[in-house]
Structure 1
Amino acid sequence: MTAAPLDLASIRLAPKVLLHDHLDGGVRPRTVIELADEIGYEGLPSRDEAELGAWFREAADSGSLELYLETFAHTVAVMQTSAALRRVARECVEDLAADGVVYAEVRFAPEQHLDGGLSLDEVMEQTIGGFEDGMRAVQAESGREIVVRCLVTAMRHAARSREIAELMVRFRHQGACGFDIAGAEAGFPPSRHLDAFEFLQRENAHFTIHAGEAFGLPSIQEAVAYCGCDRLGHGVRIMDDIVVGADGLAELGLLANYVRDKRIPLELCPSSNVQTGAASSIAEHPFDTLARLRFRVTVNTDNRLMSHTSMSEEMLKLVEAFGYGWSDLERFTINAMKSAFYQFDKRLALIDDVIKPGYAVLVG
């Protein structure tokens, strides 16, 4: 048998694992418009599906994390009711499954969805319910299985992280797999939320931290050394602690060595990292350097609407930039599955029964 071509159609057939994807950053443009009509939201820059999708992409291409985050005002505004949350969560699962994703951890900030009168618990119930609706629909329509779990996020500029951490723990047996903090990094260090992280550690709960995207090594240092994160959300700026000589040999600083030695996963999001200015281009993205140095790199979408992307498209961009083959994509996928906030035996089962056989077919 010959190997499948490394094109978008073939990559879509490959089983994928997604660890860093924002629910409010992946809403279908048509859904944004319809939900806005339902609640009378007048703030959309366009009510044409194609134009609105293009606006999100163009507005996100700012080179600034702070400006990039402003695009979320519109998606969050239309996600304030039970029906809206449930619909967006269901469609998220359907869209990921159509792209070949077999396991995903989708994150969102419940505190941003209270304007319609819902409580934090109701927001969680509806969102997780939507994920469950989507998983059942995929199984019924295609016979395939996808596992989607919820990463509960607190906003780093707010003061509710301990409350949101407690919310995550309450729902951990109902589909919540871990905790995260997100939002602008500069001026809002991870250690500001130390109480939440210490609580989670006492509760034996997993957490990742957005760090090393718009802000450099101090953010990563705090996330790792002070807060004890399991994974780094982005972490692309770990390159600031690596010097690559003219001979191609790399010298790692203490922090970079520690992150690599401890196998702390990096939730890299190539297209988004370019949009926010963390990398100048896909070709200049440090993904390949980090992969060659055997950091635990993973491929992620971050925000599928704002970046007009999918897991398959992110993988294809890396193939085109760095010449990766099927074995490389399989390694990145296994890296992600190993790093998932999922039971060990279930991680192994997905690797052995789904991921490896799925790539074996494509390799030929």
Structure 2
Amino acid sequence: MTRGIVAAVAAVLFAAVAAPSQAQGTIRIGELNSYKAQPAFLEPYRKGWELALDEVNAAGGVLGRKLEVVSRDDNGNPGDAVRVAEELVSREGVALLTGTYLSNTGLAVTDFAKQRKVFFLAAEPLTDKITWQNGNRYTFRLRPNTYMQAAMLAPEAAKLKKKRWALVYPNYEYGQSAVATFKAMLKQLQPDVEFVAEQAPPLGRIEAGAVVQALADAKPDAIFNVLFAADLSKFVREGNTRQLFKGREVVSLLTGEPEYLEPLKDEAPTGWIVTGYPYYAITTPEHKAFHDAYVRKYKEPPRLGSVVGYATIRSIAEGIRAANSTDPEKLIAAFRGLAVTTPFGRISYRAIDHQSTMGAYVGRTRLVDSKGVMTDFTYIDGARVLPDDAEVRKLRPAE
């Protein structure tokens, strides 16, 4: 046998032996997020997806293969997010992308997914544009967007029958989107409403004293707040000091999330109408199973970020299983209408706009044992507050 024939036979035998090994390789998921910039939400988020990953892999993985998450930090910067996404796809060979926290980084990766034709499940960014104005076939989103959460809060705001409203929000895509939607919805429900003041400090750089004083000077009857994280803490503390909230109703996006409410301790606001996550009082079977597993693993209760991280990996596992593939086009087809069980119950990803029907809890804040909690809360199914197909077609570009 000649040397060439021997080499050829050896190559064939090697390929035959290697093929099963390659087929059993892990399914790599590229995950990027602002871990350093937003640790309050994203440390629990990481724990949530790690728990889901452990559970999926302990049950045999997906399609007979284990899932592997390759995670990178995007520094809360859109340019860095695109660079990291490219690295994950080109160098790490991931099958799909997920993650992002800030709306501007989420939009940057949404566009990247479109350009590179890679599947992207946006976990946390809330701007409407991700699934509507800037939506594309490769991008899906888990969390209820600003439109959905504003639609949950606007009816509660209208019931207050307050005429003069002030607005405060971080001056970037998320804040701008949330306030624009809230104003439009409240105006529709209460035509005589007036918006008498707006304060839009840069994200993470609020001058709380000046902001609070400007709002107080406008003498509003009520306030709509969209601040979160450190900005929220500074705003609440300064507002308490200057008695901005005394005798005024406050409606506030995200403030009921324990990541932002609990650090305020005995300074936590009381009586605010908020969206959030009362993990200590949800008794549904799906939530109890998640809560107990999370506490067993981490010896601490979950946060909303934990739910988002967990539901993200669960969604990806179900999507790959339904597609029987990691091919982007097959994943798109599988995710359109995909149903997933999450700690908040059963959700689905709408075919019309790729938005999930995950909802949120709406209630009032209260101080209990020097800790802010949510009381009188109700879970609002996201499907109830999403626009119909005809409206979505006006909002979302045709594919």
TM-score, normalised to structure 2's length? 0.29
The higher radius of gyration belongs to 2
| Larger strand percent | 2
Higher relative contact order (CA 8 A, sep 6+): 1
| Larger helix percent | 1
TM-score, normalised to structure 1's length? 0.31
